[in-house]
Amino acid sequence: MSPVQAIPSDVESLVLELRAHPVNTNEFFRTFKARKLQPRQLRGFTGQYHYFCFHFVKVLEGLLYHTPIHEIEMRTELAKTLYSELGSGSPDRVHIRQLERFASSIGLRPQDLQCTLPIPEVTTYLDTLRRLFLHSGYLTALGSALAVETTAASEFEYFVPGLEQYEQFHPGELEFFTLHLAEEQRHGNWLVEAVRKTARSEDDLQRVAEGARETADAWLEFWAGMYRMVFDANPADSVD
């Protein structure tokens, strides 16, 4: 992306820009949908993805804490997103537990997930979110959160049909993925509302856009790393 970009005219134009970002149609997504993964490839992907999802929720909690107390609308929309991530009050529906049920169905035990070492791109993306969420201005942080939720929706449009190719999965094991087809749209809508009510000037919206653009670019690098790990490895190492 160009280092110099125009200030978006409104939050809707920024959302359209994020939806057009190449991360939404990246090579990992396309290959995951088109090709059945070998068991070891699927476990490798799931371990890394779980590591990210597990740690992301804690970063999101930090963003809520660091949001200025007077920004009521922003805090409200972030709280709704966090509450959703934590199962809307139902421990069995906590999103990370749904993902762990899928992990169990492909042979990943809790101790396997706990011992996962993140690839550099996963670490870098989490570090980027921590910096933007916790150590930048709240408007930049809000833009980062907007990008997370807006671009997250597209992955499930690839993951769900990709996983439906496998005969071994029953619907309950894919609940994490199928739920997010609609859930991420809701999260995105909440963050749009937060931006609409929090960014009160052209300068505010520019700060939001800066955080959003950096996050979308970092998310693209995350998936480039996942592609190299899952699909560029020696094929002999990917077959059980």
For residue 2, tell me if it sits in a domain: no
Q: Judge whether 196 lies within some domain.
A: yes
Contact between 216 and 23 under an 8 Å Cβ cutoff? The reply is: yes
Residue 238 within any structural domain of the chain: no
Domain encompassing residue 207: 11-233
Q: Please state, in angstroms and rounded to a whole number, the distance separating the CA atoms of residues 81 and 88.
A: 9
Share of the chain above pLDDT 90, in %: 75
Q: Is residue 202 part of a domain?
A: yes
CATH of the domain at 194: 1.20.910.10
- Average of per-residue pLDDT values in the chain: 90
Q: Answer yes or no: is 239 within a domain.
A: no
Give tens-digit pLDDT for 16-60: 999 999 999 999 999 999 999 999 999 999 999 999 999 999 999
What is the total count of domains within the chain? 1
Q: How far apart are CA 124 and CA 103, in angstroms?
A: 23
pLDDT at 4: 52
